[in-house]
Copies of this chain bind each other. A is one copy, B any other.
Amino acid sequence: MEKKDVLSALAALSQETRLDIFRLLVQAGPDGRAAGAIAETLAVTPATLSFHLTQLTHAGLIVQRREGRSLFYSADFDRMNGLVGFLAENCCGCPANPVTCVPVCAPSPKAANAPGETNDRTALEASV
């Protein structure tokens, strides 16, 4: 992950509404949430939400998919791990100073689902 990417990820997350959105999606797990549902949960205007979703998407932190007329957004856990990894990695700059930096976040696909739901996305594994 390059500095430019880290910078835009940090910029995206440094805004309260966006941090809320991101954490909501992180907690929602790989399935994510429809834009409308996010707007309702966080009490944000559709236009405002859309603006922030775009920012988060451009920062690579979330991903969009369509399901019927709804657009679902979900957190990109790989990117998230990359960001944490970058910060952790660089907190130990000096090679003469070995430390343990092992942030690994790999939710299983069904993590946020009620029992019995279907789910065919599986791609997320540890990346650090």
Q: Interface residues, chain A, CB within 8 Å of chain B?
A: 3, 6-7, 10-11, 13-14, 16, 19, 23, 26-27, 29, 75, 77, 80-81, 83-84, 87-88, 90-94, 96-97, 99-108, 111-112
Contacts and interface: CB of A to CB of B under 8 A. Distances in A.
A100 B103 CA distance: 7
Nearest to A87: B84
19 contacts: A3-B19, A7-B16, A11-B14, A13-B14, A14-B14, A23-B93, A27-B94, A29-B94, A75-B91, A84-B84, A84-B88, A92-B107, A93-B112, A96-B111, A99-B104, A99-B105, A99-B106, A100-B102, A103-B103
Given A7-B16, A11-B14, A29-B97, 20 more contacts: A7-B19, A10-B10, A13-B14, A23-B90, A26-B90, A27-B93, A29-B93, A80-B87, A84-B84, A84-B87, A87-B103, A93-B112, A94-B111, A94-B112, A97-B107, A97-B111, A99-B104, A99-B105, A101-B105, A102-B102
